[in-house]
Amino acid sequence: MNYINIKSIVLTAGLCMASSVCAQKSGTVQLPELPPFPEVPTALKENMVKLEDSNTFKEVQLDIPITDGPFKPSWESIESNYPGEPEWLREAKIGFWVHFGPQAAGESGDWYARKLYTQGSNAYNNHLKRYGHPSEVGYKEVLRDWNPTKLDPQRLTALYKKAGARFLMIQGVHHDNYDLWNSRYQPWNSVNVGPKRDLLREWVNACKKQKMHYGVTFHHEYTWWWWQTAFQSDTYGDKKGVPYDGNLTLADGKGKWWEGLDPRRLYGINLREYDSVAEKANSPWSPANAGIFWRHLEYANGMPLNGLLE
């Protein structure tokens, strides 16, 4: 993607989230609406485009206004306002990470959403049996049908505290790009699609009841390359060459259950024209080579902005 100043992103993210809370409480700042999806050029053949050198490409700075407060976008400001670790964390000793979401529905291990689009993988084979072929029934249908009725954050949080935990890290969104709350900036979320529950709010309420500290984890940094499997197709068999559902457009949803939901806001866009992207798409872990997606600058700049708004 189009790399930007990571230090600024990390700092601005924390400041933006704090500012959003302040703005919502004070009513002095109006949060922006969901920005339109950027224009995307027609995808070229795989490996046709060379990535630009990120070391020489002009750095992009995001101009995001924040509410006035004690924090400034610098490490010095963070240090001065948070000198050392918080006292409660020193005393807490144990915390749990609630790493749970719709990918568990595939019963195929971690990264199920990505791997179900890799022909021959365990996730792909299980998806065929449980849902169907990913050209017809993909991860969006997994989200539609996901309904963890037995998930009880109140009971579990009480159990975690009994086991010794004094804080929880709660998964807000995994690499699958599906928000587990009533998200203003991601229509593919657990209130709109799937269980119709604000799961993050349920966990937060449970933590407050148990007087436990909590944090929320975001995994957006992988999203741009993580979904590139969804833009390929079978390489053998009856469905050879039939595109998977990552290639669907907003217009394709007319008359379907997902009408009005843009698949690009879930799967991202096809970036396999850049060298190494297609090659690394089915790797167990590795992203594509570092570089600039220079034909998609508007999209690349919009991704971190949308993530910060979330």
Q: Could you report the per-residue pLDDT of 22-48, keeping only the tens digit for each?
A: 333 434 557 788 889 999 999 999 999
Helix axes 6-26, 297-309, angle to 10 degrees: 50
State how far the alpha carbon of 104 is from the alpha carbons of 6, 148, 287, in Å.
31, 10, 23
What pLDDT score does 86 carry? 81
CA Rg value for the chain:
21
Q: How confident is the model at residue 224 (pLDDT cuts 50, 70, 90)?
A: confident
Strands 213-218 and 95-98 come out as: unpaired
Nearest alpha-carbon partner for 202 in 146, 156, 160, 147 = 156
Residue 16 has pLDDT above 60, yes or no: no
Kindly report, residue by residue over 289-298, the tens digit of the pLDDT.
999 999 999 9
Higher per-residue pLDDT: 304 or 203: 203
Kindly report, residue by residue over 118-147, the tens digit of the pLDDT.
999 999 999 999 999 999 999 999 999 999
Are 172 and 217 within 8 A, CB to CB? yes
Measured in whole angstroms, how far is the alpha carbon of residue 198 from the centre of its chain? Answer: 16
Lowest mean pLDDT, pick from 3-7, 44-48, 64-68, 152-156: 3-7
Cα–Cα distance, 266 to 194 (Å, whole number): 14
Which residues are within 8 A (CB) of 117 and not within 5 positions of it... i.e. 6 or more apart? 124, 134, 138, 229, 230, 232, 244, 246
Q: What percent of the chain has pLDDT over 90?
A: 70
Q: What percent of the chain has pLDDT over 70?
A: 89
Q: How confident is the model at residue 60 (pLDDT cuts 50, 70, 90)?
A: confident
Kindly report, residue by residue over 230-243, the tens digit of the pLDDT.
999 999 999 999 99
Q: How confident is the model at residue 6 (pLDDT cuts 50, 70, 90)?
A: very low
Residue 4 has pLDDT above 60, yes or no: no
Residue given tokens 């053949």 in the structure block: 45
Kindly report, residue by residue over 62-110, the tens digit of the pLDDT.
767 667 788 887 889 888 887 777 888 888 989 999 999 999 999 999 9
Residue 17 has pLDDT above 50, yes or no: no
**Other Cβ atoms within 10 Å of 51 Cβ, number:** 19
**Mean predicted lDDT score pLDDT of the chain:** 88
Residue given tokens 């049996």 in the structure block: 129
Residue 10 has pLDDT above 90, yes or no: no
Residue given tokens 């029934």 in the structure block: 137
What pLDDT score does 197 carry? 98
Strands (E), the chain: 95-98, 167-173, 213-218
What pLDDT score does 12 carry? 29
Are 12 and 62 within 8 A, CB to CB? yes
Q: How close are the terminal C-alpha atoms of the chain, in Å?
A: 19
Residue 167 has pLDDT above 50, yes or no: yes
Q: How confident is the model at residue 8 (pLDDT cuts 50, 70, 90)?
A: very low
What pLDDT score does 301 carry? 85
Report if pTM > 0.85: yes
Nearest alpha-carbon partner for 245 in 225, 263, 262 = 263
